[in-house]
Structure 1
Amino acid sequence: MRITQNEEVSFNTYKEYPYIVYVRVSTDKDEQKDSIGNQIDICRYWLEENHFEWNESSILKDEGKSGTLFLERTAMQLILQKARNREIKMVVFKSITRLARDLKDALEIKEILIGHGVRVVTMEEGYDSLYEGKNDMKFEMYSMFAAQYPKTQSVSISAALAAKVRRGDHIGKIPYGYDRIDQKLVIKEEEAKVIRQIFHWYNYHGYGMKTIVRMLNEGVENGEILPPRNKKHWQITSVQRILRNPTFCGTFILNQYTTIKVDGKKKQIKNPEEKWNVFEDHHPAIVSKDEWEKANNRKNVNSKKKFTPWNDLRGLLKCGKCGSNMVIVQGGNKKDGGHWRYLKCSAYRRSGKYGCVNHVPITYESFKELIVNQLQNYGIRVAELNLINNLENTKEQQVRNIKKRIDSLEDKKVSLLDLYLDKLINKAEFQRRNNQLDSDLKKANDQLFLLNKEETRQSEIKSILDAFNSLENSNENLHHVFKTLLKDVIIEQTGEIEINYAFENSK
């Protein structure tokens, strides 16, 4: 570990040299060497050995946060914000694995910190940016090793899970209709009767999902049928999952889903079938394979499947009774010339009267036309927003000038430090001039922040104005327009509506 090479060792107070000690554990089951207390002790030892004043308030923790999820680590986000605000001079952590387990994230964090003049120090790798420089291979190599670890661990875990499944053990949640005894699935007969009844109604009576849900909930109300485990009433989605799940015919599928990282967050996706590990006759079946295949026969499924019509207002329409999304359902008779599209509460659609209320008939086309007209009328009243753009013509030049001033002040700080190290000025003079430069820098950064905030506001105003102009093209996809202009629209059972505009706070 590199330490100061000066013959006269100076002691750095926390006020003079503010730093952050960053610690992280992904779960509360981490080994002792990676525990919070152990990480703090290691960092504290290095700080005190290198003549930095210890300060308990310097510790920032991410507990129960995976190193692969950059955006979900609030402490790390705060550190980066402090670096941008020039509030810290150094970040210390036990190892690069605590910083990030993703190569891209690790390099990005390092560049942000160093780019804002923050020293980066890790204990295990002996890395110190003060001596290594910006473009070093050492940090990249250790970051690459850290990124590879969770992938290797994932392969090992997958192999262990596959071995358990081959032995007949069940992993994951216990499905409806089963219990788990000695890690094996056993049929729970009372619940299994409901599963069999669902398949029987679907395969042999030809009932659709809505009819099955209604009959199940009537049975629940009469005490003849058990409800789902975690809800009081059956829903369409619950029935769909039961009919599509091969677990009920004795088949277990491993590696059906995987987790990927999208924009710093985890997202579950379905693997292609060739990657699945299928275990036939893994556990007792509630229905036969023939019954399950009949329910999932492509021709049979396609004849009963109804595709949800396109909805430009999706996610914005809310039920005034329960708060669920309003969705489109189709009605009418093909023989009479086509379908009508109505808006219904999604909770009512899933569970009928047991989920919510049935709204008065509201056709989607007429409702969309109403919303467009309301927005166009409102747009006339906000046309004066264009005037604001005329006041911002000089903003770009102001931003450029302030950035130049910030660069100049940073250069002056470096020159001032050189004067002090060359003993051309004493410590008191250095501190006085350095504090003045810090004050000027803070003022300049504050001005830049305010200008950029105003710039963002103007960008939002431009998006709003563009969205209003796009309303003229009512035959095109207007989803992005409605998302820009509307916060939500509350629809009461009687058909009364309340429109909440997204831009009301932007005026």
Structure 2
Amino acid sequence: MFKQSDVEITKYNDYKYLIYTRVSSDKDSQKESVPNQIDICRYWLEQNHYEFNENAVLVDEDKSGTLFLERTAMQLILQKARNREIKMVLFKSIHRLARDLKDALEIKEVLLGHGVRVVTIEEGYDSYVEGKNDMKFEMFSMFAAQYPKSLSVSISSALAAKVRRGEHIGKIPYGYDRIEQKLVIKEDEANVIRQIYKWYNEEGFGFKKITHLLNKGVQQGEILPPRSGKAWQITSIQRIIKNPTFCGTFILNQYTTIKVDGRKKQIRNPEEKWLVFEDHHPAIVSKEDWKLANNKKKVNIKTKITPWNEFRGLLKCGKCGSNIVIIQSWNRKLDGTKTHWRYLKCSAYRRSGKNGCDNHVPIRYEEFRRFIVERLLETGQKVSLDFNNTLNNHSKQQVKQLENSIAKYQEKNEGLVDLYLDKLIDKVEFQVRRKEFEQQIKEAQDKLFLYKNEEVQEVSVKNIQQAFKTIEKKDQDLYHVLKVIIDYITVNIDGSVDIKYNFDLNK
């Protein structure tokens, strides 16, 4: 049986059918379990004179039926269909195929359009029998799409009922414990919250200064660290100031999850849809102090995008791996004019000082840009590239690295359970690290799929060739060009720079 993480799918060529199974989570009921789905499909195959083979089974585990692009096994089926390598795909039910009407119809269209027979056993749908009559498939797909929406409404109503009873749901905020499903103040942490509001409201300190004071207090043993055990950061202080939880208010339905291009995305609901529960739990700071803090200059915890920074998202610190950001400063001259500077800074050092990272050798943005452009021009002139072969070799290396990375992250993820059971890590750390590993696995799997897509590779070759030509033009915004050519740039403490390209220049 092949699961979503498997990449060796050559054995599929020996079989003209595939069985697709999916479970949303490990909590799915027995009737929706993978073995149950396989047994049902196996019985249908035997009844219809097919020889069952477990190598023809694909599994998407812990994958929601509402998320199309994240279901790697389904993407592989569609790729096989486009390559004309299969003749039939078997599903236990349309619920396993998709829980989104648009996705279900798109999957069926791709399969039928490439001569693949589609069978869903529970609904009795067989494209070979139905022909062009899509009414049955569309009707059952519509019912399948409605199920998660109805379930979401029921869950939301149940959560709202819990909150009305004074119960707390979600992550336990700093400064509180949860006892019998209700928040109670944890005094040692609550004192840190009160001190932050005092510095902010009474002393007029900014987020950066408060961060440095907190980390200095942590080093001296006078202030508790954040629950992560790491240093306090500016963004943590901003969230504490903005969060109404600390004045006893709980807000439900502040955010919702929507699907964009086959992936989940969290968005903020309009305020009129919020469910606000005043005096829901004991307050750490008064409502007056919270309002005073939030009536100041608007607290913005979102990452600012600087359009003029052509290296945004490309620069990494050589020591800690954090992003390198561009800091602006200025000095007023005697004649009233200003001199402006833009220079590179490690974001971890900027947020937490020496607790986060070391300070880099000062590098001016303009000088850095000039250096990178000259390096790219020099590289383009010295090296004669066969882009197709070069990119193909690089892709093979990347595929191997990604496969190794996926195996490594999965091994680490499995090892977390042992660490948690042996009480070497607590529940909070277990959940945080598990989420990180799962995210890394998902990102690696997505990249792996793209690297195996020949059409993507052909587009990449053309884009890279055009990007090198654009570098030669002066006064051009090079952001998109740099993204095509460069994977990332490492800026080391001593000011040295290492460039990782999106292809291998040494071949």
Specify the TM-score bucket, using the shorter chain as the normaliser. Answer: 0.7 to 0.9
Aligned residue for 1:147, secondary structure, equals helix
Structure 1 residue 384, shift from structure 2 partner: 6.9
Q: Which residue of 2 aligns with 1:360?
A: 361
Determine if contact 2:242/2:299 at 8 Å carries over to the other structure: no
Determine if contact 1:457/1:506 at 8 Å carries over to the other structure: no
Instruction: Return the TM-score normalized by structure 2.
Output: 0.79
Indicate whether 1:491 and 2:470 are aligned. Answer: no
Q: Which residue of 1 aligns with 2:144?
A: 146
Indicate whether 1:460 and 2:439 are aligned. Answer: no
Per-residue Cα deviation, 1:14-60 (whole angstroms, up to 9, x for no partner): 99973222221101212222122222222222222222223233322
Q: Which residue of 1 aligns with 2:83?
A: 85
AA partner of residue 341 (structure 1): R
Per-residue Cα deviation, 1:144-179 (whole angstroms, up to 9, x for no partner): 111111111111111111111111111100000000
Per-residue Cα deviation, 1:464-494 (whole angstroms, up to 9, x for no partner): 2322333355544321011012122211111
AA partner of residue 99 (structure 2): R
Q: Which residue of 2 aligns with 1:322?
A: 320
Determine if contact 1:227/1:234 at 8 Å carries over to the other structure: yes
Determine if contact 1:217/1:233 at 8 Å carries over to the other structure: yes
Work out the percentage of aligned pairs sharing the same amino acid. 68
Instruction: Return the TM-score normalized by structure 1.
Output: 0.79
Distance 1:178 1:72 in 2: 36
Distance 1:383 1:99 in 2: 48
Correspondence 1:112-127 to 2 at 5 A? 112-127=110-125
Structure 1 residue 88, shift from structure 2 partner: 2.6
Higher mean alpha-carbon deviation, 134-143 vs 330-339, is at: 330-339
Structure 1 residue 457, shift from structure 2 partner: 5.1
Structure 1 residues 316 and 307: alpha-carbon distance in aligned structure 2, compared to 1, 3 A threshold:
closer
Q: Which residue of 2 aligns with 1:176?
A: 174
Structure 1 residues 262 and 212: alpha-carbon distance in aligned structure 2, compared to 1, 3 A threshold:
same
Q: Which residue of 1 aligns with 2:370?
A: 369
- 1:155 aligned residue (131, 148, 153): 153
Q: Which residue of 2 aligns with 1:481?
A: 481
Distance 2:16 2:258 in 1: 37
Q: Which residue of 1 aligns with 2:500?
A: 500
In structure 2, list runs of 5 or more residues that go unmatched: 1-11, 390-452
Distance 2:261 2:91 in 1: 25
Distance 2:493 2:164 in 1: 53
Q: Which residue of 1 aligns with 2:126?
A: 128
Determine if contact 2:255/2:266 at 8 Å carries over to the other structure: yes
Correspondence 1:175-254 to 2 at 5 A? 175-254=173-252
Structure 1 residue 308, shift from structure 2 partner: 6.0
Structure 1 residues 136 and 309: alpha-carbon distance in aligned structure 2, compared to 1, 3 A threshold:
closer
Aligned residue for 1:20, secondary structure, equals strand
Q: Which residue of 1 aligns with 2:419?
A: none
Determine if contact 1:328/1:342 at 8 Å carries over to the other structure: yes
Distance 1:385 1:306 in 2: 39
Structure 1 or 2, whichever has the larger Rg, is 1
Per-residue Cα deviation, 1:433-470 (whole angstroms, up to 9, x for no partner): xxxxxxxxxxxxxxxxxxx94x7655433322322333
Distance 2:323 2:457 in 1: 29
Q: Which residue of 1 aligns with 2:98?
A: 100
Distance 1:16 1:375 in 2: 47
Aligned residue for 1:233, secondary structure, equals coil
Structure 1 residue 249, shift from structure 2 partner: 0.8
AA partner of residue 206 (structure 2): G
Q: Which residue of 2 aligns with 1:24?
A: 22
Q: Which residue of 1 aligns with 2:436?
A: none
Determine if contact 1:327/1:345 at 8 Å carries over to the other structure: yes
Distance 1:506 1:156 in 2: 58
In structure 1, list runs of 5 or more residues that go unmatched: 1-13, 389-451
RMSD: 2.7
Structure 1 residues 183 and 481: alpha-carbon distance in aligned structure 2, compared to 1, 3 A threshold:
same
Structure 1 residues 338 and 280: alpha-carbon distance in aligned structure 2, compared to 1, 3 A threshold:
farther
Aligned residue for 2:192, secondary structure, equals helix
Distance 1:387 1:285 in 2: 63
Q: Which residue of 2 aligns with 1:351?
A: 352
Structure 1 residues 227 and 384: alpha-carbon distance in aligned structure 2, compared to 1, 3 A threshold:
closer
AA partner of residue 251 (structure 2): I
